[in-house]
Structure 1
C-alpha cells in the first residue's frame, strides 16, 4: 500500500515527533511504500512557548521525508494535497487543533477519492480554547476515519463526527536507548516529575502532597515549563519546600534521561487528566516504578501494588497517601524488582492493523455520508 504520513519529525522534538517518525519506520518495515510529509516551519513562535527544534535527532530520521510544509505558506498546503493524491492512504497526525487549517487545505487538495485517517493524539486539548471544538469538528467530519488511543477519546470523537472510529493503544516510541546510568542499591528518597509542565499535569498537586508527606523525601521536576517557573517557585516557597525541590527547566535531551531516572526511586505522574503517555513505558525502560493518578491509560499500564501505585486525580491527600505507601519499609525495592520493560513489537503490530484497516463509512473514500456530516 502507498501510505503518506503527514506530521512533525526532526528537527522538531517531543513525543509526537518520535511517534510520527516511528510510525513511518514501522509502516515501511511492514512492507508499505511510505513517505513522510513534514514541516520546515510548524507553528508561529507565539503559539509554542518554548524551543521548537533540536540539533541532534532522537532516533533514526525516516529517509523518505519531505519538509515542504510551512505555516507561512498556505499555498504549499494545497500543493501537498495534490502531491499526495497518488497515495492509497493518507495519515494526518493530529496533535493540536492549530493544525486543522493546514489539514483542511491539504484535504481540499487531495479531493474526495483518497482515504484519509485522522490519527488523534488528543481529540481535544486538555486545556481548551473556544475554537478547539469547531476546528476539530470541521476536520473529523471530512476524513474517512479516526484513530484514537483510549475508549474515552473514542467517545469524545463520536460527539464530533459520524465517521468510523477505532481505538488502539499507543505503542511505545521511546527516545533512543542510551547506556543506563548505574543506580545504587537502596532508597534515594527522591521522586521524579518529568516532561512538559502544564496545569493539567498536576505538578502543583504533587508539591502539596510532598509537603504533607515524609519530610526527608525530595523531588526533581525536569522539563519545559510553559508560562515560566515563577508560579511554581512561589508555591515551593509558600509550602516551605525550597530545600527539597530541584527544578530543571528546559527540554531534557535523550542522553540525559538515564541519569534522571537512576537518581529517583519513582516517577510521579500526578495528572488531572490524560489520554496516552509514554512516560510510564519510559520509566519501566529504566527500571523505575511509577506513582500515577487513575486517568487516561495509566490504570492499564501500571499494575497497582506490583510495579507502581495509583491514586486519585486532583487530590493531594490521595497522592500523599500513595507516597507514604511507596516508602513503607522495603516497598521501593519490591516495586522496582517487578518492573519490566515493555515489548513494543506486539503493540505496534496491533496498532498498524487498526490504522491500515480502518475502513471509510462507504465504498468511495470520503464521499460517503459527507452531506450528513456537514
Structure 2
C-alpha cells in the first residue's frame, strides 16, 4: 500500500549537500510511495551566506527529481507569498507523512508553520537530523540561543525521528529532551550519482594522488592535512600530490595560507570554489586516496561519495563517521587533530591503492526505515515499529 509522503528540505538555489540528499531521498521513497517535495529556496539574506557568490548558479547536472514527483521550489526566508503557496501546495497534495530535513536554524520559522499545517491536515510529522546545529551557527550566540529555544517547540509536534547514527541519537538526547516517539537509526544512503567515470590506470611509480573534498571550515581540519602532507613530502620516500577542492566558509583562510607558505606548495593543487557535478566526478575518479581530517562531524557527504567510488579513505574517528565506515573495508581511521597520526594513516592507505571496495551502505536501508515508521503510524502493513527514542 502506497503512502503519501512529502519531503521538505534544501533546494538548488543555495546548493549544499542537503540539496542532494533531499533530492535522493525523494527519488528513493518515490519507488514505493507517492512523493512530493517542498524546497527551501532562499535560506538567509544572500549577503550573510558564506557561499554568496554562487547563489543561484547551477552546479548540479547529475541529479534531478524523478518524473511524477511534484516539486514546489520554494519557500524564502522572508516568506512573502512563497510560504502561502507552499501551504496551498501542502493542502492540495494532502500528505499522510511529512519528512523534514534538519541541518540549519535558518529554516526553523518556516518549518514551524509547515509542521503546524501538516498536523492540521492530519499528517504525521517526521524529523530527519543531519546534525544538531550547524557549527558556524553555534558560534553566533544569538543564533545558537534562538535554535535552542525554538527547536524544542517544533520537536514536540513530531511523531517520529530519523538519525544517521547512534552518535547522533545520543547527541540529540543530550541537547534536547526528545518526546518518546519512534526513532529510526539508519545509515546515510550512498552518493553513487557521482559515479560513472572510470578511474584511469595507474602508471608504475606515478605520484600518489590525495584528495581533500568539501567546504573549508574550522571543523574540517584541512590544516592538519596540510601539515601531514608536508611531513610525507619531507620524508622523500614516496611522491605525494594533494588536490584540495572546496569553498572557503567562515573566512577560514588558515589552511590555504599554510599551503601558500609551504615549501611543498608545488605539490598542491587548489580549486577554491564550489565545483559542479562533472568536476566532482572527475576529482574522485582521479584520486588514489581520499583524506577527510574532520575535527568533528555527524555525517559527511564527501565520505559517502568516496565510498560509492570504492576508494581508500583516511578519515578521523569522530562523531558518526566511525559508524558510517564500520563495514567499509577501504577506510583507515585515525585520531583527529593529529597531523602525525594522519600522515601515518595515509601511509597505511597506500597499501590499498588499486583496489575497489564495496560500499556497504544502501538506500534500501532508508526505505526499510521509512516502512517501519509508516507501519508504526498504521499506514502500511508488515513492517515492525521502530524502537522508541531513548529505549
TM-score interval, smaller chain: 0.7 to 0.9
Matched residue, 1:22: 24
Q: Which structure 2 segments of 5+ residues have no match?
A: 379-391
Residue of 157, 161, 170 corresponding to 1:155: 170
| Secondary structure in 2 matching 1:175 | helix
- Taking only aligned residues, the RMSD between alpha carbons, in angstroms, comes to 2.7
Residue of 100, 104, 110 corresponding to 2:108: 100
**Post-superposition shift, 1:259?**
2.7
**Post-superposition shift, 1:269?**
0.6
Matched residue, 2:188: 170
Contact 1:124–1:136 at 8 Å: present in 2 too?
A: no
Matched residue, 2:47: 46
Residue of 267, 271, 274 corresponding to 2:294: 271
Matched residue, 2:133: 124
**Post-superposition shift, 1:122?**
1.0
Residue of 72, 75, 97 corresponding to 1:66: 72
Contact 1:37–1:65 at 8 Å: present in 2 too?
A: yes
Contact 2:311–2:355 at 8 Å: present in 1 too?
A: no
Contact 2:317–2:334 at 8 Å: present in 1 too?
A: yes
| Secondary structure in 2 matching 1:259 | helix
Matched residue, 1:316: 339
Matched residue, 1:202: 221
Q: Which structure 1 segments of 5+ residues have no match?
A: 361-374
| Secondary structure in 2 matching 1:34 | strand
Aligned length: 354
Q: Distance in 1 between matches of 2:15 and 2:311?
A: 24
Runs of 4+ more than 6 Å apart: none
| Secondary structure in 1 matching 2:126 | strand
**Post-superposition shift, 1:271?**
0.6
| Secondary structure in 2 matching 1:337 | coil
Residue 365 of structure 2 is aligned to residue 344 of structure 1: no
Q: Distance in 2 between matches of 1:275 and 1:220?
A: 24
Q: Deviations 1:185-231 (Å, cap 9, x if unpaired)?
A: 44532211001111111101111122222433221110111145743
Matched residue, 1:3: 5
* TM-score of the superposed pair, with normalisation by structure 2: 0.81
Contact 1:172–1:344 at 8 Å: present in 2 too?
A: yes
* TM-score of the superposed pair, with normalisation by structure 1: 0.84
